[in-house]
Structure 1
Amino acid sequence: MNKESIRKWLKSSPRLKKLLDSLIMNKVQARPRLYIRIFAAMYQHRGKHSIIYKSVRMDTPPYRKLSLGDYSIIESYCCINNSVGDVIIGDHTRIGIGNIIIGPVTIGNNVNLAQNITVTALNHNYSDPDVLIDKQGFTISAITISDDVWIGANAVILPGVTIGRHSVIAAGAVVTKDVLPNSLVAGVPAVIKKRI
């Protein structure tokens, strides 16, 4: 039985899915339970010579994919979360200090993320004023960061965005829509400042 058939089977049995989820995830801490995290090296893919610093918070349950390419690094104090979607990081890519990445996110090869960047494919629903925001669920829209991209410190990449190859995102930019290849974008919201 492959992973996809297991997912379909679990979707057809919501009570079993809820039970398994409670055994895997600590709802208060919003992360996998300690006895799951102990076995993370068995279900995470880490390429040759890749590094994940000890202080990184790896919220990576085994039912989603985490893949870190060859010669890639996740630096100190980052948070990587694949609870709602896979996180795929290519080869020769550096995830800088203090980054937050919430899947589904695909990051290409030779990408550099500076410090304190947020890349989140998850957004909370809030349209009903009579219901607590926490009770309204969330929407997910995958993010793609193509090869040879540089993202400056404190940038925010919002759900559904695709960043084209050989692009630069200026420090502090808030990217709300797709970035064409070979572009430099800056601002809140980010707009193209020049073509590279």
Structure 2
Amino acid sequence: MNRWRLLTERFLISLIGGIPRPLGAHLRRGFYPLIFAQMGRSVHIQAGCEFIGSQSIEIGDEVRLLRDVRINLKANRSRLRLGNEVCLDRGVDINVAGDDCLIDIGDHSYLGPYVCMAGPGSIIIGKNCMIASQTGIYANNHRSYGLSREGITIEDNCWLGSGVKVLDGVTIGRNSVVGAGSVVTKDIPPYSVAVGVPAKVIKQTTGVV
């Protein structure tokens, strides 16, 4: 991040980041395009949201970031893309700790209150996904050879219940449901219902969840 972008980011977030709505929302909609790589139309950012590395954040149309969302993208060449009509609910925390990481959240997806996502591996969430409160998605793991960063993919139309943990190297297939409190350590096939610690498939479905 060059010094000018850093100073602009810190100044604007400090100046208007904490102003409550409706005035604060209008100010942020007007001035935050100066700090983001891209900011679409009708974006709503509530008070208390924090951004580090905002020049690497691309925001689509009609995105909603609710109070106290925190996004840390200070790692080199890392990016965050939020598709159209994405909602990050209160207290969502996205922290990228490694270089060359991509966090991509597809159109119409929802992350519930206090969802936590962390790199350094990339995390791809498809379209129309529902991630319930206090879920943890961790694209890193300590193994015998060191820290892994294989990445995580959650395909379209998936539902994850409250408190689910998704570990590095996992793909959750499209149209799948993962029950509350489950820990996903291995791939989940498409059209599956999985529960438990570790999560196991208990049912296959034939249509959209």
Q: Normalising to structure 2: TM-score of the pair?
A: 0.69
Of 40, 46, 68, 1:55 maps to 68
Residue 113 of structure 1, CA deviation: 0.2
Return 94-103 or 153-162, whichever deviates more. 94-103
Give matches, 1:79-98, under 5 Å: 79-84=93-98, 85-98=101-114
Residue 43 of structure 1, CA deviation: 2.8
Whichever residue aligns with residue 137 of structure 2, its letter is V
Tell me whether 1:120 sits opposite 2:133 in the alignment. Answer: no
Q: How many residue pairs are counted as aligned between the two chains?
A: 157
Whichever residue aligns with residue 107 of structure 1, its letter is I
Give matches, 1:145-160, under 5 Å: 145-160=154-169
Of 165, 182, 185, 2:191 maps to 182
Partner of 1:70: 84
Residue 35 of structure 1, CA deviation: 4.9
Whichever residue aligns with residue 89 of structure 2, its letter is E
Residue 36 of structure 1, CA deviation: 8.4
Tell me whether 1:45 sits opposite 2:58 in the alignment. Answer: yes
Whichever residue aligns with residue 62 of structure 2, its letter is H
Q: Which runs of 5+ in 2 are unaligned?
A: 11-34, 36-52
Separation in structure 1 between the aligned mates of residue 8 and residue 203 of structure 2, nearest angstrom: 46
Residue 37 of structure 1, CA deviation: 5.5
Separation in structure 2 between the aligned mates of residue 116 and residue 162 of structure 1, nearest angstrom: 20
Q: Which runs of 5+ in 1 are unaligned?
A: 1-19, 25-33, 128-135
Whichever residue aligns with residue 115 of structure 2, its letter is N
Separation in structure 2 between the aligned mates of residue 80 and residue 149 of structure 1, nearest angstrom: 19
**Root-mean-square deviation (Å):** 2.3
Partner of 2:117: 101
Separation in structure 1 between the aligned mates of residue 129 and residue 87 of structure 2, nearest angstrom: 11
Separation in structure 2 between the aligned mates of residue 41 and residue 160 of structure 1, nearest angstrom: 27
Separation in structure 2 between the aligned mates of residue 88 and residue 153 of structure 1, nearest angstrom: 21
Summarize the Cα distance change of 1:174–1:105 in structure 2 as closer, same or farther, 3 Å threshold: same
Q: Normalising to structure 1: TM-score of the pair?
A: 0.73
Question: Following TM superposition, where does structure 1 have runs of at least 4 consecutive aligned residues deviating by more than 3 angstroms?
Answer: 34-42
Separation in structure 2 between the aligned mates of residue 174 and residue 117 of structure 1, nearest angstrom: 10
